[in-house]
Amino acid sequence: MTESICFLIYCMLKQLRNCLVFAQYALSEAKKFVNNLLKINCRFNSLHAPKDMRGKNVEALSTLLALCDTEIDALKDSWSTILECISRLEYLVSSPATTATIMQGSNQISKDAILQSLRELSGKPTERVFLNCLNLPSESVVEFFTGLCSVSAEELKQAPARVFSLRKVVEVSYYNMGRIRMVWARIWSVLAKHFILAGSHDDEEIARYAIDSLRQLGMKYMERAELANFTFQNDILKPFVVLMRSGRNESIRRLILNCIVGVIKSKVGSIKSGWRSIFMIFTTAADDDLEAIVESAFENVEQVILEQFDQVIGDCFMDCVNCLIRFANNRSAQGISLKAIALLRICENRLAEGLIHGGSLKPIDIPADGTHDVIEHYWSPMLAGLSDLTSDPRSEVRNCALEVLFDLLNERGNKFSSSFWENIFHRVLFPIFDHVRQAGKESSVSSGDEWLRKSSVHALQLLCNLFNTFYKDVSFMLPPLLSLLLDCAKKTDQTVVSISLGALVHLIEVGGHHFSDQDWDTLLKSIKDASYTTQPLELLNDLGFENHKHHNILSGDLEIASIKTSVNGNALNENQETSRGADVEESAGMASPSGRVTKPTDGGGLQRSQTLGQRIMGNMFMRTFTSKPKNLPSDIIASSSPSKVQTPDATTEPETREEEESPMLATIRSKCMTQLLLLGVIDGIQKKYWDKLKAQQKITMMETLFSVLDFVPIIQLIYQPQIAPPLNLLRQELSGTCIYLDILQKATAAVNSGEEDTVKEEKLEGLAEQKLVYFCEKVLRDTSDFQSSAEETSNMEVHRVLELRSPVVVK
């Protein structure tokens, strides 16, 4: 290279420096011009083509590094290009294979001289570039980190991957950690993305280096006290959360967990907002497939709650709760699940004691100061998590969660506001029974879901006890509670029905003395609607009777047309008419003689009046309906095995063949059993709370009873007198008759004793006396007719019916 060319290069590089200085104060167009010059200079240094490297290229690189030392403020958004040159320089001097290609075709002396110059430039001049970043202004330092991370990302893509710039990222992060928090937050937003990228690298060594470097930076930053309302600690640890969630490598997940445990043990007193990320990492570990990771994470969570709970402050408490709920849901470790529920109870105690700011409860009689929303913010997720655990398939976990949930509510409920109670019922308690509400839609409870019965019975009892305990505070929730119980009672699944009505009986027995008149109105109206809804009208539709389309079951208007059928001289003289708005003078329990049945001219009138299809259907119905269903609990159906009964004109299958029950017959049986259970509910009310009821409420009970009772004789018309009615219908008739007589006798007792009450009570007494006389006459007449028909047959079932009806006749 001649002296003139060297001088020309020197002048050009000097002018480039002058342009750069001038560009600090120039317009954006001038800055773009200077940036282009810098890029040209970077290409001119031949770092990408070492075989073309010459002295002029080394001089250009030297000038560039000098600019980074003297004109650092003027480089601004050119850092990405400059740092790329530095990366190439380091690669050039550290790779023997690349070094051998420098200045191909030149003598060895020239090669050695160029190589020595490059090595000198890669030393102190390059280090000063990274050290001088401390002097960069706020805007420029963000550009510096952005450029460095961009270069590092490209290095990680190479094969093999390089970590030169990654190491420099860690170094300059230490240098700049002392910057003001707002600037550091902008820097970290760039660094966090890059550490996630590096920590997810396929090369495990690189990933481990990135994660360990991240740990060191986190530990260093934790030495700084975090100011109130700042969340930089959480931001520093958030890359660990992302890496833990996306980590496919077992050793990497272990490393992340160990890093977080190390941060807790060494900096527990300094952690504030960082707890959020820490608990999020433990929450992720709770779902890990590796049992060792789950156990290690839970041990540290347990230690934090038992020993460092006072350090878990503010909103981070919710992350702690969510973490414990996730551990409780881990189905591979039942022991951990049970311990997690116990720790939830401990957290609740600490919360109620006021160790969490804003979470302590105050008595509800203290004037509201706007803190209820804060309280609900802390308590709702904990209660909702326990509610979800009550449907866990593991019985011990399920029962433990149920006990803790209701213990918590019973202990703290006296301090809950009405609005909070409403949220608890709708978001915590009622969802426990969603699976019960759905159980009757598709099929009966399977043998594998037997836990549904046991847990639901227990849960409904606890719910009713809770309602009774806090009746004054939660009485406004009676309508939705009754809706839950009676919605379940309308299902075709008898397990669900027995569970719900059993809970209703429990609710009434334990808390009925608290009920107001309005509550009794609501309760009796709900029972009345349920009794109408569950009447087995399919018997009328499918066995040849007309089911009028115009009746409204839910509103209580049920009207069954007169049925004119000859039955050996028995005439059906009753037509069921029920109206919700009945006055005291009008009793829905009174029969309305709207039509009579004429006596047949011969004893075979019924057989000739039935079609062949009706006779076959009646035979099938008798065989199936009188058999004990397989899926009913023993406490609902008495042990009995009635014999198969055959009508004269029907053909039966061999007794050794197990008959499959049709869906229609299953529905009929289910509804009959529901009617029986509803009769039990009504019986419990009249026995314990009759004197507490108003006149109109007593009339409502009589209307409901008579609607259930009067449905049976209509159905019995489809059978020959010589054939016993279906067992469930017979039970319904006998139970209903006994209860109805008890009610009528109680209603007339005041008349007999001569006591006078209000006008409505007097009218009720008179009405009850009239009903009693009429009903007793009807029972005796029906029994006499049935006794006459029994003399003409030798069927033992008929005599059995007479025996079962005898207590009613005596009464």
pLDDT in tens, 448-464: 456 666 778 888 889 98
pLDDT in tens, 564-577: 222 233 332 333 33
pLDDT in tens, 633-689: 333 333 332 333 233 333 334 343 344 557 777 787 788 888 888 888 888 888 888
- Residue 423 pLDDT grade (very low, low, confident, very high; cuts 50, 70, 90): very high
- Residue 511 pLDDT grade (very low, low, confident, very high; cuts 50, 70, 90): confident
Query: What element of type H or E holds 80?
Result: helix 79-94
Helices (H), 493-543: 494-511, 517-533, 538-542
Q: Is the pLDDT of residue 801 over 70?
A: no
Query: What element of type H or E holds 458?
Result: helix 450-469
What is the predicted pLDDT for the residue at 624?
A: 39
d(CA 36, CA 29): 11
What is the predicted pLDDT for the residue at 57?
A: 74
DSSP tag of 491: S
- Residue 607 pLDDT grade (very low, low, confident, very high; cuts 50, 70, 90): very low
For 85-99, what is the mean pLDDT? 80
d(CA 408, CA 267): 33
pLDDT in tens, 307-322: 888 877 667 888 999 9
Q: Which two structure tokens, joined as six digits, stand for 376?
A: 């609900």
d(CA 615, CA 622): 11
d(CA 401, CA 329): 11
Q: Name the pTM for this structure.
A: 0.73
3 state DSSP class of 558: strand
For 142-153, what is the mean pLDDT? 94
- Residue 407 pLDDT grade (very low, low, confident, very high; cuts 50, 70, 90): very high
d(CA 378, CA 314): 10
pLDDT in tens, 173-200: 999 998 998 999 999 999 999 999 999 9
CA distances from 790 to 721, 722, 785, 795, 803 (A): 8, 6, 9, 8, 12
Least Cα distance to 252 among 204, 292, 294 occurs for 204
What is the predicted pLDDT for the residue at 536?
A: 79
Q: Is the pLDDT of residue 521 over 60?
A: yes
Of the chain, the percentage scoring pLDDT greater than 70 comes to 63
d(CA 576, CA 590): 8
Report the alpha-carbon angle 394-395-398, nearest 5.
85
Asked if residues 65 and 59 have their Cβ atoms less than 8 Å apart, the reply is no
- Segment among 16-20, 334-338, 508-512, 732-736 with least mean pLDDT: 16-20
- Residue 20 pLDDT grade (very low, low, confident, very high; cuts 50, 70, 90): low
What is the predicted pLDDT for the residue at 512?
A: 87
- State the residue for tokens 């969603």: 434
- Segment among 216-230, 544-558, 732-746 with least mean pLDDT: 544-558
